[in-house]
Chain A
Amino acid sequence: MSFRKITTVAGLALGSLVSAHSNAHHAFGAEFDANAPLTLRGDVTRIEWVNPHAWFHIEVAKEDGSKEAWRIEGGTPNTLLRRGINKRSIAIGTEIVVDGYWAKDRTNSANGRNITLANGKKMFMGSSGTGAPEDGADTGR
């Protein structure tokens, strides 16, 4: 398992572009940075299946061997259910890759867009219309 946090210049540039399309909604914009896309890989340790947003906690292994706990905000449980994700869809201990956006305060918190499972299956875990960047993650869903 590896740790990858993509905040490269290219990523920031892309983030700058997509942020131009951001809608105004405090839920995303107040907490998360549309200019800081990231990718996290880790094992699921905790799922908070709650309103108004579900949270997925993962443990990310860093390159030096240490581990970091991250919390990933998902969409509302109702939204996730419509996407085919329920509270039992991802078992504790499952390795997932999350694409999302880093918290503005740079804590280990992110807004998740896509989850990719070990078998390559990708699921949209966010919400549309919350002010998150229109990055195509929810296209056609």
Chain B
Amino acid sequence: MKICKLALASLLLGTLVGCSPSEQTTQQLEHAESDVFKLSGDVKHIMQWVLDPAAFGVWKSAGSIITAAGTRELAPTTDEGWLAVEHSAAVVAASGNLLMMPGRAVDEEGWKNIAQGLVDAGLVAQKAAKNQDSDALFDAGGQIYRVCKACHSVYVRGENAGDLL
């Protein structure tokens, strides 16, 4: 078994050593695009079923409700509550990567920059939730929305989210 693994590793190494780094990258990407990723839904599905619920999971957990009776803070009050927000934030971050997958990415520049911004915003929210920092979570929620707005202002072609691309 060990010999088989060594032989396989040698074969792969031998295939790669003759290539420049850029050629290797290209080959890896082509390999990834053709063999690894299998799209399980389009951008609309990611928006409606993955990103939107996760983003609202973050948004609804930070902020204030002010009435004549006083101010109610929306931040979680239990470890379980914070963990749920951390989960939502992690899904937001992962959604950015899902949007960059071959077959979903619309272009090489703007789309990927915005999607990377979504990953960053999700990670900021995740860290805030992990630290149980309600102010940081609120700010991260704003950061997530700014990414949403930036993307929709360029890539949504109609008045509804259903018009996305």
Which of A's residues lie within 8 Å of B, judged by CB? 23-30, 45-52, 76-78, 87, 92-93, 129-131
Stretch from B6-14, B65-73, B95-103, B105-113 at the A interface: B65-73
Give the size category of B's interface with A: 20 to 34
11 contacts between A and B (CB under 8 A): A26-B156, A27-B149, A29-B159, A45-B67, A45-B68, A48-B65, A49-B64, A50-B62, A51-B59, A51-B142, A77-B142
Residues in B neighbouring A51, C-beta threshold 8 A: 58-59, 62-63, 138, 141-142, 144-145
Residues of A within 8 A of B63 (CB): 48-51, 77
B120 to chain A, nearest CB (A): 16
Alpha-carbon distance A30/B159, docked complex (angstroms): 6
Are the C-beta atoms of B66 and A46 separated by less than 8 Å? Answer: yes
- In the complex, the number of residue pairs spanning A and B with C-beta atoms less than 8 Å apart equals 86
Cross-interface CB contact of B159 among A47, A78, A131, cutoff 8 Å: A131
Give me 12 other A-B pairs in contact (C-beta within 8 A), A25-B156, A27-B149, A28-B159 excluded. Answer: A24-B163, A26-B152, A27-B152, A29-B158, A29-B159, A45-B68, A48-B64, A48-B66, A51-B59, A51-B138, A76-B145, A92-B66
When A30-B159, A50-B60, A51-B144 are in contact, do A25 and B153 touch as well, CB less than 8 Å? yes
